[in-house]
A = this chain, B = another copy of it.
């Protein structure tokens, strides 16, 4: 079980923005900073903007900045924006779940899912601020 490259990119992108507080960074600039293909990064930033994690500015001198304080953005926020924590397939095939006794497993996946979400939620981006 591993995270997608896209999620890794998204997190590195947010870290990049955390380190440039108050600045508006262009896709070009971020792309060079974190070594991610420009067009692919553009898609990721759209998702982050859609989730309210970053704010976009269009037009010349446009770009992106964090939408709120890094302490108020956590790893779960990013995951939700890019690849929600689902865990469990059996939750999605109710027909099978109701017929087969095997789906005593279902509630276990639900618990695990919630605990994984909690683990991600307690990790915020304050730790990545530029040193004093």
Q: Bits for A60-72, please: 1 = Cβ < 8 Å to B, else 0.
A: 0000000000000
Chain B CB within 10 A, most for which of A8, A19, A120:
A8
Q: A70-102: contact bitstring with B at CB < 8 Å (1 yes, 0 no)?
A: 000001000100011111111000001000111
B3–A102 touching, CB < 8 Å: no
| A53 CB to nearest B CB, Å | 16
CB distance from A131 to the nearest CB of B (A): 11
Whether A16 lies near B119 (C-beta < 8 A) is: no
Q: Give A7-58 interface residues, CB cut-off 8 Å to B.
A: 8, 11-12, 15-16, 19, 33-35
A112-B75 contact given A8-B90, A12-B105, CB 8 Å threshold:
yes
Return chain B residues, CB-CB under 8 Å to A15.
102, 104-105
A residues touching B (Cβ–Cβ < 8 Å)? 1-3, 5, 8, 11-12, 15-16, 19, 33-35, 75, 79, 83-90, 96, 100-105, 108-109, 111-112, 115-116, 119-120, 123, 127-128
A86 to B2, Cβ gap below 8 A? yes
**11 cross-chain CB contacts under 8 A:** A2-B86, A2-B89, A8-B88, A8-B89, A12-B105, A15-B104, A16-B102, A19-B101, A112-B120, A112-B123, A119-B119
